[in-house]
Structure 1
Amino acid sequence: MKKKTKSKHIKPKSFQSTRFTVEQDDELLPFLLTHINKSRNAVKSILTRGQVEVNNTPTTKHNYKLTSGDVVSIQSNESLMKEKALIGLTVVYEDDDIIVIDKEEGLLSVATDKGNEPTAHNQLMGYVKRDHPKNRVFIVHRLDKDTSGIMLFAKKESVKRALQDSWKESVKERIYTALVEGKVKKENGTITSWLTESKTFKVYSSPHDNGGKKAITHYKVTRQNNDYSLLEVSLETGRKNQIRVHMQSIGHPIVGDKKYGATSNPLKRLGLHATTLVFNHPTTGKKMVFKSKIPRSFIKKTQVSK
């Protein structure tokens, strides 16, 4: 008889999932069979439907190798159905105070006066109201419609205020990946300027203090060829369209960004992705780190031809 794998059972209050911490090497299917009170076929179906994650990474492999310390998460059917109803976003973390999502390009963060198209905010409102009709979601910060990546929401107005009031102190890193036109000559640099917005909602940059909002952007080149450069961009300030305007100001606009000087659109989207968000949790004070993979299309455009 196979020896039962030891584990610690964890069931977070605010997640519709069950988690186990592995204490002895095993394969995934046998591990699940010893920890879920269901038939072999039912467990296989749970795997096939994508309800199982190992260390926050989904897997459907029956023979996935587990090692001591791995965390296996099993999403409930109810939670799976709730998440499948979301369009253009994935919930990557949720607790009683916050929701962190990975947003796709083309999805508005919040509603505009121009129409009733889906937004990240209104979809998340519906998402939390499935648990209780009085639940709400509050905007903490925004991403442009055509920018993808990590975005943070609050589940209580008090948490929203706490995050926004302490934003500079609480947020430790905001890193974006930008695909820009041309070969950037300086491997790294800092752009400092003052930004003003026109009546037509276009942002302009001035190297001198003209009464606008001071904006500071740090960048470094990670890949490039003669046509495009891939940059890791770190924000010291978070102004509207800051990265887009600053990239234009150094003569390397973000691809697909016609509004700010781009002449090409090889991705058929804006070449900007919110890769990393690091902040202190507004309630627990714990350091929270969230990352989103760089779109493969960004990397392909900076391959060097042989």
Structure 2
Amino acid sequence: MKSDLPGWSRVGVPPRAPGTVLAFLRQRFPRVEEAVWRQRLAAGQVCNAAGKPLAADMPVAVTTHLLYRRTVQQEVPVPFAHTVLHQDSALVVVDKPHFLPTAPAGQHAAQTLLTRLQRQLGLPQLSPLHRLDKDTAGVVLFCADPALRDAYHSLFRNRQVDKVYEAVARWHVRFATPVVHRSRLEPGGPRFFTMMEVPGEPNSQTSMEVIARHGAWALYRLRPESGRKHQLRVHMAALGVPIRHDAFYPAINDPPEGDFSRPLQLLARRIAFNDPLTGALRVFESRRQLQWPPPEAA
């Protein structure tokens, strides 16, 4: 596969899927015009799981995944570097900077962590095992071998991964002792991608405690016991201590495109799990540090 091209994504093909490659792509991505897919196929920008270009009239059942090149016009460069913390034949562990999406989506293709790693490491079949919001920094795990992906992904699916986050937010007396917050989170709010707490049986839980104080501000350790979208951000805002520089919770205040002056003070500090192949305990920690507000922000 042409791993020097940015913006490659992958989509699974169901077993014994009928029809041609082109027909599958048209059905899977109805908003993309047929002419666009024909152009990409003719240019070798749609490949099988092994990275070999496919023709439009080939049976889609010849592969388990399609790899395709995404393109976005006028993508704003993210001027922050990632750090590879660990690499072996199965896993790549990376310390992600703020503002960089984990994988291509929406208006982000070349400027994503996955695309950078595929190019840097020459691993076109690399895939994320979980995701961090583009606004969140810290530890992200990728699988380097497609044959092992399900074994590692099952750890997240079965909640067998211990995840620890840190966040900077205002101090509140309710956190004089550790707090456990439970609520029901559902899509809703001012944007199509935001979440909100609603009445009903809780489906999310976060353990929170203060580990340092600096005037009116505190450094919190957060342990999500569930993996709902934006869970930590919603829970902190619901308790009256929104994470510093949060552009969506409790209210929309997102900066213009290309403004990197307000990094969300949320960090995926640590991930630990028992390796499904060896049984050994594996622990990976971020080397990044969150920022205390200047004195005038107190």
TM range (shorter): 0.5 to 0.7
| Distance (whole Å) between structure 2 residues aligned to residue 184 and residue 243 of structure 1 | 19
1:153-192 CA-partner distances (Å, limit 9, x unpaired): 0012232211222325573420000111343432311111
Who is 1:232 aligned against?
A: 221
Do 2:266 and 2:290's aligned partners in 1 also have CA atoms closer than 8 Å? no
Query: Could you tell me how far 1:301 is from its partner in structure 2?
Result: 5.9
Q: 1:193-212 maps to which residues of 2 (within 5 A)?
A: 193-198=183-188, 200-206=192-198, 208-209=200-201
Structure having greater relative contact order (Cα 8 Å, sep ≥ 6): 2
SS at 1:121 equivalent: helix
Structure 2: tracts of 5 or more residues without a match: 1-78, 256-260
1:182-203 CA-partner distances (Å, limit 9, x unpaired): 4343231111111111371110
Do 2:104 and 2:110's aligned partners in 1 also have CA atoms closer than 8 Å? yes
Who is 1:104 aligned against?
A: 97
Query: Could you tell me how far 1:120 is from its partner in structure 2?
Result: 0.7
Q: 1:123-138 maps to which residues of 2 (within 5 A)?
A: 123-129=116-122, 135-138=124-127
> Is 1:246 aligned with 2:240?
no
Q: 1:88-167 maps to which residues of 2 (within 5 A)?
A: 88-129=81-122, 135-167=124-156
Identity of aligned residues (%): 27
| Distance (whole Å) between structure 1 residues aligned to residue 126 and residue 113 of structure 2 | 10
1:116-161 CA-partner distances (Å, limit 9, x unpaired): 341111111123327xxxx520111001111111110001223221
**Larger strand fraction of residues:** 1
Who is 2:244 aligned against?
A: 255
When normalised by structure 2's length, the TM-score is 0.63
Do 2:234 and 2:250's aligned partners in 1 also have CA atoms closer than 8 Å? no
SS at 1:146 equivalent: coil
The 10-residue stretch of structure 1 (168-177 or 101-110) with the greater mean CA deviation from structure 2: 168-177
| Distance (whole Å) between structure 1 residues aligned to residue 245 and residue 170 of structure 2 | 9
SS at 2:149 equivalent: helix
In structure 2, relative to structure 1, the CA distance for the partners of 1:107 and 1:257 (3 Å cut) is same
In structure 2, relative to structure 1, the CA distance for the partners of 1:172 and 1:110 (3 Å cut) is closer
> Is 1:190 aligned with 2:173?
no
Query: Could you tell me how far 1:277 is from its partner in structure 2?
Result: 0.5
Query: Could you tell me how far 1:88 is from its partner in structure 2?
Result: 2.1
Do 2:167 and 2:290's aligned partners in 1 also have CA atoms closer than 8 Å? no
Counterpart of 1:259, as a letter, is: F
SS at 1:258 equivalent: coil
Do 2:211 and 2:220's aligned partners in 1 also have CA atoms closer than 8 Å? yes
Do 2:179 and 2:208's aligned partners in 1 also have CA atoms closer than 8 Å? yes
Query: Could you tell me how far 1:293 is from its partner in structure 2?
Result: 3.5
Do 2:275 and 2:282's aligned partners in 1 also have CA atoms closer than 8 Å? yes
In structure 2, relative to structure 1, the CA distance for the partners of 1:263 and 1:122 (3 Å cut) is closer
| Distance (whole Å) between structure 2 residues aligned to residue 88 and residue 150 of structure 1 | 13
> Is 1:274 aligned with 2:279?
no
Query: Could you tell me how far 1:227 is from its partner in structure 2?
Result: 2.4
Do 1:129 and 1:136's aligned partners in 2 also have CA atoms closer than 8 Å? no
| Distance (whole Å) between structure 1 residues aligned to residue 83 and residue 215 of structure 2 | 35
Structure showing greater radius of gyration is: 1
Counterpart of 2:273, as a letter, is: F
When normalised by structure 1's length, the TM-score is 0.62
In structure 2, relative to structure 1, the CA distance for the partners of 1:217 and 1:224 (3 Å cut) is same
Do 2:265 and 2:290's aligned partners in 1 also have CA atoms closer than 8 Å? no
Residue-pair matches, total: 212
In structure 2, relative to structure 1, the CA distance for the partners of 1:114 and 1:281 (3 Å cut) is same
Aligned CA RMSD, in angstroms, stands at 3.0
| Distance (whole Å) between structure 2 residues aligned to residue 291 and residue 208 of structure 1 | 35
1:220-271 CA-partner distances (Å, limit 9, x unpaired): 1112245222100011111110100000111110010131027999x72101
Do 1:193 and 1:214's aligned partners in 2 also have CA atoms closer than 8 Å? yes
